[in-house]
A and B are shown apart, each in its own frame.
Chain A
């Protein structure tokens, strides 16, 4: 199906760019080109351009905010850039907190933190996605197994047939297979039936 993927397996040492060129040139079909693009390491191609792959740069060298149950006070407040109302509220915070109204206290909390603990612990609907995905894959597997049973398996051996099985059992009984505790022990030879 994919001639390109065989080439990649063989020519492991050749440069990726060369391989891309060769395989795309040799096999013009749409599918294989997409497969090759998907299989190659996008990082290798990106680095040759020399610019950032993510548009929103996150400076990992600065302290970062995180909502974690086990880390109540993160390295950085949620809102760093304060406008004039926030700044005046922060000034008021330096005085007695009894002078602050409930809304001001909530506002101060929201300046410093993103989610409250109950918000962090809120349940999600992810389990539905997981169970649903599981069943979808079971279904696909079932289809594959059914198709396999129909198209791939060779015809059943003759030994599985009803008549053959009957003759086989009769032969086993005639041979007195396991006559004490096992097979023939279950057969009533006098009355020609199972016990």
Chain B
């Protein structure tokens, strides 16, 4: 199913956003997040952005204090996922204006809606920033 989950974690290891595309129980999620975060946060900038964990491949990237972690199938193209992460950040950047951890904390719903526009069922369905933000901006105007 391509993307299995998307996590945003700050450098203290606190989860800031978690979106799963397959069902895991709360305990499983907690365990998984803990393991992955421990693995990825320990890595340095000079190391590559791919980590294999259980049956996932984790592609991650750090932006300022925030780590974007995407768990994918083994079949998935790692570099494309890196580009996807970048696209996600750019989109948020455009919407929030110089996005930071706090923006995501306080606008978690919006972040979820952006993700929903971009990814459905683990497949990337939209890659145009204006298309992604269209519905959200419309809603903001309305309210």
Please determine whether chains A and B interact with each other in the same assembly.
Answer: no
Chain A residues at the B interface, C-beta cutoff of 8 Å:
none
